[in-house]
């Protein structure tokens, strides 16, 4: 069995130097996880488990995320997807009791508003910002 802690200091120093050179070579061969010369570049990774009191920020599938110790994942998007059915109000200013056409326009605006709100809520759910 080799002597793990030799008494000769020169042998110990040589071994430490070899170990340091080996570690340097391993670090040179390994791809960095991040680069910050022109902003942060994050490599894709699996979502890790996180110990209590900490938060992990990473990237998976090209999306930046953060995860806490409870396992709650929050994806951080640069920009939300566009909403297809934006509300275009047609009723305008009624200025009194609406006639039949104005009433129908108000009703159409209410339907468009509902669809717009539904789209916003769906996008927020899909992005993980709301759960209900």
pLDDT digits (tens, 9 = 90+) for 17-49: 999 999 998 888 877 666 666 667 777 888 788
C-alpha span between 65 and 56 (Å, rounded): 8
State residue 67's pLDDT score: 84
State residue 1's pLDDT score: 54
pLDDT in tens, 45-100: 887 888 888 888 888 877 788 888 888 877 776 555 566 655 567 767 777 888 88
C-alpha span between 108 and 87 (Å, rounded): 10
Q: Per-domain residue ranges for the chain?
A: 1-30, 33-76, 79-132
**CB burial of residue 42 (10 Å; 0-12, 13-18, 19+):** middle
pLDDT in tens, 88-98: 677 677 778 88
Buried b / exposed e across 92-112, counting CB within 10 Å, b at 16+? eeeeeeeeeebeebbeebeeb
């Amino acid at each position: 069995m080799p002597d793990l802690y030799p008494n000769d200091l020169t042998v110990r120093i040589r071994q430490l130097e070899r170990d340091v050179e080996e570690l340097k070579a391993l670090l040179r061969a390994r791809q960095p996880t991040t680069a910050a010369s022109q902003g942060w570049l994050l490599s894709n990774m699996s979502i890790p488990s996180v110990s209590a009191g900490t938060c992990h920020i990473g990237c998976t599938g090209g999306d930046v995320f953060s995860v806490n110790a409870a396992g709650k994942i929050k994806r951080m998007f640069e920009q939300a997807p566009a909403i297809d059915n934006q509300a275009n109000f047609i009723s305008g200013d009624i200025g009194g009791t609406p006639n039949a056409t104005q009433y129908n326009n108000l009703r159409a605006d209410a339907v468009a508003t509902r669809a717009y709100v539904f789209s916003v809520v769906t996008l927020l759910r899909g992005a993980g910002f709301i759960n209900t």
